[in-house]
Structure 1
């Protein structure tokens, strides 16, 4: 990986991807496969992902198949066999029929984010990745795009902003876009090694609090918690002690996971979401992933939607002769779907975080009475996604 200031050479179709996370790497792969000369710029000193797990749903796996890395990901992932929603005492409120879900849509798998990043980086040609390159400003110059970074200026025919919810590119080129909004809750994430794999994943709902877990392929467990809290609040002691205070009396194996956890592995981040944007594109620039539609994590679709974005963007560019018309098609396809999923995720998060004892009692009873088929049917519009083909990309797409 080199610094972008040393990049030379002129390509026929050049693209700059700002952001080297999952969405940015996927965009780099998709564009490279479409014949573009790509530079992926990452502000961090090295490419990689923080230590946390990631659920890849059938739609996300189809996107990875379209990128040519699906089988490699499956080799490094673990299929989820049991999941659902429990209360804090461990009683199942709703179970996911994993076999039926896999039969209808394909499996759901768990992978460590760092491992997925490694797989995506390995699929890019040498000379594509440029770490330690922080973009300061982006602009449109005639029929080109321009990014200014710490060591100079780069120009290209296409700019893809995959630089997250606080996107510098979005602030530069979408100055009227609404700022991210605090969702009212904070989240802790960690990976725990208890010496044995947890038997089942899923989430557990309390009153204004929740926890979740999922087994990882290496035998460790991805564990996360969420709680309503003022924005920016941090624990006076350490975060692991706060987790033990809040969740140490919840059902097994949560106390066991917390007992085995290491304070240094605990990540805490407030949850923000991006209000709906009027467009994902301007000129020859496009937003992708969290830069376009950052959503709450309640549906586990953030990374999966970024993967869909990358595949769809490249397919639109392949199907249209002009970059602007291709980006207009990308916006028609991606914006309605991702904003619909973001709204649904926010609604689920609101219900999961209810405080009132009577309201949560009704919520839990309702979940217990619903048939398993209701959950699969509710997920159908999300999971049935297929990579777009060349023939239908010129038509507007407004359904989820």
Structure 2
């Protein structure tokens, strides 16, 4: 079986299939294991998903990651707008860098499983009675029983199968970085914090070994030259009035530590399964990062893939069942993330103040109920 894309979704899917004894080959366009990347948070539902197809990987993530059981949203003056206890009834969330997670995923696979430097560009045949033919960007044609497309938000395979589905810009851009600041890290024990203000948002997430994952978001046109060339000094000016420790964190930034991304998602897809071709991860349900669920949903995909591929039946029936198990939940999360982004990115000071008051007076039981749904992966169907 071929997997197009060697990101989190592709590697997790490969681990699930490998544990079932299914021969797999992963095709990754990047020339080597990605050495760069900022941080991410694996919420309790992600840990639950991983435990279903690779319990030892769960243990390694817990050992490598930084645990947190509180998520706070503050205004730019430092007042708490919302506070959620992450670990109530579940495990904590764990933060780690993307390269660390990639390394842990790769270690679960036999050497040579991933072929770097080749990109899948086109499906030539996906008829139920014949092998699937997959064309690479170098002109090579591969043949397999099935193809799982995990080639991201700009998926070439999805574009071929669903040409009307195109990524959409959320209206705001993001700068990410990991800094080493042990003294500042000690001020945020087991807490993830995001601050909302009229000038944008700023989040900081502690990692192990005195590191902190930081991200800054603000409204800007798509591919805005001023945003693309913004310097650490520019970020410091924009967020200078934000509460401690945000200005202090920004002082630690260097130009080579920053990663810039225009944030996007995809509209809800009408289907994930196409006979023996299946879309997973961002190829199927790319979402904005406002709920921190992009990687988590890719890992849920892998868990469901593991479950349904164990069952008897054709590949087509398995892929259709996976689509049925994953479509509603992933799309609901993507829509919720989009809505939260629009609220969080308000710029008018008057509307920001109204938003903040409403958040401060929202009963905690409502936030708890919402997080319970998000952080509990549905149980396996019989």
Normalising by structure 1, report the TM-score. Answer: 0.89
**Separation in 2, partners of 1:331, 1:208:** 40
Are residue 313 (structure 1) and residue 299 (structure 2) matched? Answer: no
Offset, 1:383:
1.3
For residues 321-366 of structure 1, the C-alpha deviation after alignment (integer angstroms, 9 at most, x for no partner) is 1000111111111111111111111111111011222221111011
**Separation in 1, partners of 2:312, 2:346:** 47
Corresponding residue SS for 2:269: coil
**Separation in 2, partners of 1:365, 1:203:** 17
**Separation in 1, partners of 2:17, 2:69:** 34
Offset, 1:151:
5.3
Corresponding residue SS for 1:55: strand
Query: Does the CA-based 8 Å contact 2:135-2:142 persist in structure 1?
Result: yes
In the alignment, what sits opposite 1:146? 133
For residues 142-194 of structure 1, the C-alpha deviation after alignment (integer angstroms, 9 at most, x for no partner) is 4322211115111111111111100011112223x421111101011001112
In the alignment, what sits opposite 1:394? none
Q: Name which of 3, 10, 14 aligns with 1:28.
A: 14
Are residue 235 (structure 1) and residue 226 (structure 2) matched? Answer: yes
Normalising by structure 2, report the TM-score. Answer: 0.94
Q: Name which of 34, 58, 68 aligns with 2:44.
A: 58
**Separation in 1, partners of 2:287, 2:213:** 20
Are residue 292 (structure 1) and residue 277 (structure 2) matched? Answer: no
Query: Does the CA-based 8 Å contact 2:49-2:377 persist in structure 1?
Result: no
Offset, 1:226:
0.6
CA gap 1:321/1:146 in 2 versus in 1, 3 angstroms:
same
Offset, 1:51:
2.4
Corresponding residue SS for 2:283: helix
How many equivalent residue pairs? 372
Query: Does the CA-based 8 Å contact 2:182-2:209 persist in structure 1?
Result: no
In the alignment, what sits opposite 2:63? 75
**Which aligned pairs between 1:187-336 and structure 2 lie closer than 5 A?**
187-196=174-183, 197=185, 198-199=187-188, 200-207=191-198, 209-235=200-226, 238-336=230-328
**Separation in 1, partners of 2:296, 2:33:** 19
Query: Does the CA-based 8 Å contact 2:53-2:306 persist in structure 1?
Result: no
In the alignment, what sits opposite 1:6? none
In the alignment, what sits opposite 1:18? 4
Runs of 4+ that moved beyond 4 A: none
**Separation in 1, partners of 2:297, 2:50:** 11
Corresponding residue SS for 1:310: helix
**Separation in 2, partners of 1:298, 1:189:** 14
Query: Does the CA-based 8 Å contact 2:159-2:165 persist in structure 1?
Result: no
Corresponding residue SS for 2:87: helix
Offset, 1:319:
1.6
Corresponding residue SS for 2:310: helix
Offset, 1:58:
0.7
Query: Does the CA-based 8 Å contact 1:52-1:190 persist in structure 2?
Result: yes
In the alignment, what sits opposite 2:101? 116
Query: Does the CA-based 8 Å contact 2:9-2:299 persist in structure 1?
Result: yes
**Separation in 2, partners of 1:151, 1:139:** 12
Please provide the CA RMSD for this pair. 1.6
Query: Does the CA-based 8 Å contact 2:38-2:98 persist in structure 1?
Result: yes
Which deviates the most, 270-279 or 190-199? 190-199
Structure 1 alignment gaps of length 5 or more: 1-14, 392-400
**Separation in 2, partners of 1:333, 1:381:** 16
In the alignment, what sits opposite 1:367? 359
